[in-house]
Structure 1
Amino acid sequence: MTEEHGQLLKGGIGMTNLAQLERDYTYCESIIKENSKSFYFTFKQLPKEKAKAVFAIYTFCRFADDRADQHAPASKRLHDVDQLEHDLSLFQKGYVINQPMWRALRDVFQRYEMDIQPFFDQIKGQRMDIAFERLETVEDVEQYSYYVAGTVGLMLLPIIASETDRDLTSQAISLGIGMQFTNILRDIGEDYREMSRVYLPVQEMNRFAYTIEDLSTSTINDNFIMLWEQMATRAESRYDEFMSVLHHFDSDSQLPVGYASTVYRAILNAVRDNDYQCFTTRNYVPKEEMIRLTGELSLETVQSES
């Protein structure tokens, strides 16, 4: 354990005072607020304790992603991801690195029936990005999406579905996969330009006669639109699967989680409204549209319960 990773605490939160813990959660909240306004907007509406747990989990995922995507040699990125996995292994054994994220996560694991495997799977997904290889099929993209995003759904499940006996594992994974497909379709230009990564599957690109050369010149033609829509339809089916069981989630979590699904799905329409320009423009859902969509969902939920 290097000094930069801080002192190890055995037993975790029992050795951490409550004032410090509140500061730790405030730190985690600042991370999600800075990096994902849409997630923050939706999950902030959870009950306070649940929201704090989500913020801590998001911070872990943000740290994992940042270590894989930093502008550094692959050896440095792999080293940092290895260190994160080492720290997670210590955490699994009951040790906590004396840092805000780890102290907050220990509290989350004490409050909820958490499964640590999705956290390890998330790290595996980051390794897939570091040693990136083109994905051949849509199914390959879905498998990759499980590791980097479906895992997040599993991490959140004990928090937002703590009162049901129904197995919602598949739907939680589907939400994450739908969101990752959305990220891919939103960030096609950025991923290629900044990371030299193409997440569109080889088979589908061949099927729609859209080439790497087309992508490198930011070509938006009928072939591209058909390819993009094929992937978007796959994402939307995942959102549909998730929303079909929304009523099985905790009553205090249904609307915020439904908001997250609805607002993120709306990014796809933002790209469509922008004539599929996802090479040079960062597409997003304006705050006014977020408010409108969440208002519609609230009304639908009230009507379905009445």
Structure 2
Amino acid sequence: MVLRSLWTIIDHPEDLMPLVRLKMAVARIEKEIPAEPHWAFCYGMLTKVSRSFALVIQQLCTELRNAVCIFYLVLRALDTVEDDTSVPSDIKVPMLQLFHQHIYDKNWHFSCGTKDYKVLMDKFDLVSTAFLELDRSYQEVIEDITRRMGAGMAKFICKEVETVEDYDEYCHYVAGLVGLGLSKLFHASGLEDLASDSLSNSMGLFLQKTNIIRDYLEDINEIPKSRMFWPRQIWSKYANKLEDLKFEENSINAVQCLNDMVTNALMHGEDCLQYMSNLRSPAIFRFCAIPQIMAIGTLALCYNNIEVFRGCEQTSDMPDVYCAFYEFSSMLKDKVEENDPNAALALKYVETIQQACIKSARLTNGLRYYVGKSRRFLMVLITVLFALVSILFARFLKK
């Protein structure tokens, strides 16, 4: 992910200084993090389990930053319980359903997960301690979303994702609700109007469906039990069993199924653009836009790509988002083959996204987010050097 972001910077040298400024701002913000052990743990854990989000979360204003940090950690802990296939269902289901109550208990913790996620669960009492220091308006949002998400996760522990309707419902519980919760936190901060549930839900579904598509192989090979989120209604058109798609003899059908899944995700693209175009706060905009750009780029790379079965962008304003969506959708459009059974629908959604971008009248001429294959090798070499410089720069800031 870091390499992709740096590739973009190399293709856009003008984006280097904004990124440096953002890193310096985050370095200053880190000095403002409360010294209390529970807050130090929360922000330290955020950088370990949030992957792409830690940087953009930390550049939010103090009050909202704390709320989003705790919101993320609470839901990450909930997700850790759901993800741990070694936890028996008779223990997991009631825990998911009651998890929203545990966030008020300074003494509660539960051992599950692995690596950093296990540390988060073992020391969850520190997260609860920080949660109890948030303004009540933030607490109510976090509790409500955690309750609804836990109930939804519990439902799908005992239910397979059979239909596309099931798929949308599952993605709503695990990601759409995150979108709703974030919109309510933004509103509670006074920085944004309250977005509609429909647009907020689409923001989450677009990211979640992208992750489910990208993580096919990881989920299907999960030990001790595989995790299957691709809906049977889609994959059964191409295989007798979902795991059959990873075998070489099924490559043609696998790619067609993959394209079907990507096409399904693209239906949320226009809503995402509408949601982001309504935002006023630059920090909240960056927080929302960067993951969405990464998602449309991931879908473009996955489309028609058999390697899915084999084993962040820097942005500053809405025109950059429109350009990224337009560029990545163009990249995806070029990969659509006429004989693919989902070609017409995929092209329809791509055209919808591109028309939304064109109608915005804010496309930046010449903005390119990915370069041709002939330059990739040179870019990788430069990227490695840039990464080393970035590491040294980060160490210098800490002195």
- When normalised by structure 2's length, the TM-score is 0.59
Matches within 5 A, 1:120-131: 120-131=147-158
Structure 1 residues 171 and 300, CA, compared in 2 at 3 Å: closer, same or farther?
Answer: closer
Match of 2:258 in 1: 228
Structure 1 residues 219 and 190, CA, compared in 2 at 3 Å: closer, same or farther?
Answer: farther
Is the counterpart of residue 172 in structure 1 residue 193 in structure 2?
no
Match of 2:373 in 1: none
Matches within 5 A, 1:132-143: 133-143=159-169
Helix, strand or coil at the partner of 1:107? coil
Match of 1:243 in 2: 273
- Could you tell me whether the CA contact under 8 Å between 1:21 and 1:104 is conserved in 2? no
Structure 1 residues 228 and 97, CA, compared in 2 at 3 Å: closer, same or farther?
Answer: same
Structure 1 residues 51 and 277, CA, compared in 2 at 3 Å: closer, same or farther?
Answer: farther
| Distance of 1:211 and 1:270 partners within structure 2 | 25
Matches within 5 A, 1:129-208: 129-131=156-158, 133-161=159-187, 162-165=190-193, 167-194=195-222, 195-208=225-238
Q: What amino acid sits opposite 1:84 in the alignment?
A: F
Match of 1:106 in 2: 132
Q: What amino acid sits opposite 1:278 in the alignment?
A: V
- State the identity as a percent: 23
Q: Could you tell which deviates more after superposition, 108-117 or 238-247?
A: 108-117
| Distance of 2:169 and 2:197 partners within structure 1 | 15
Count, aligned residues = 272
Is the counterpart of residue 81 in structure 1 residue 57 in structure 2?
no
Give the unaligned 5+ runs of structure 2: 1-31, 109-124, 323-360, 363-399
Once the two structures are superposed, what CA deviation does each residue of 1:53-104 show, in whole Å capped at 9, x if it has no partner?
211111011111111222233334335435524425xx4xxx7658221232
- Could you tell me whether the CA contact under 8 Å between 1:28 and 1:100 is conserved in 2? yes
- Could you tell me whether the CA contact under 8 Å between 2:245 and 2:253 is conserved in 1? no
RMSD: 3.3
Deviation for aligned residue 1:144: 0.7
Structure 1 residues 109 and 125, CA, compared in 2 at 3 Å: closer, same or farther?
Answer: farther
- Could you tell me whether the CA contact under 8 Å between 1:69 and 1:77 is conserved in 2? no
- Could you tell me whether the CA contact under 8 Å between 2:100 and 2:147 is conserved in 1? yes
| Distance of 1:24 and 1:237 partners within structure 2 | 41
| Distance of 2:178 and 2:35 partners within structure 1 | 23
Matches within 5 A, 1:248-263: 248-252=278-282, 253-263=284-294
Once the two structures are superposed, what CA deviation does each residue of 1:112-153 show, in whole Å capped at 9, x if it has no partner?
48433221111123313533x322211210001111111111
Structure 1 residues 26 and 237, CA, compared in 2 at 3 Å: closer, same or farther?
Answer: farther
| Distance of 1:21 and 1:258 partners within structure 2 | 30
- Could you tell me whether the CA contact under 8 Å between 1:138 and 1:201 is conserved in 2? yes
Match of 2:145 in 1: 118
Q: Could you tell which deviates more after superposition, 39-48 or 62-71?
A: 39-48
Q: What amino acid sits opposite 2:171 in the alignment?
A: S
Helix, strand or coil at the partner of 1:75? helix
Q: Greater relative contact order: 1 or 2 (C-alpha under 8 angstroms, separation 6 or more)?
A: 1
- Could you tell me whether the CA contact under 8 Å between 1:135 and 1:200 is conserved in 2? yes
Once the two structures are superposed, what CA deviation does each residue of 1:154-191 show, in whole Å capped at 9, x if it has no partner?
22112334444454221111111111111210111221
Matches within 5 A, 1:91-102: 91=104, 99-102=125-128
Q: Could you tell which deviates more after superposition, 156-165 or 26-35?
A: 156-165
Match of 2:315 in 1: 294
Match of 1:264 in 2: 295
Deviation for aligned residue 1:297: 5.5
- Could you tell me whether the CA contact under 8 Å between 1:119 and 1:155 is conserved in 2? no
Helix, strand or coil at the partner of 1:256? helix
Larger Rg: 2
- Could you tell me whether the CA contact under 8 Å between 2:57 and 2:287 is conserved in 1? yes
- Could you tell me whether the CA contact under 8 Å between 1:271 and 1:278 is conserved in 2? yes
Q: Could you tell which deviates more after superposition, 105-114 or 242-251?
A: 105-114
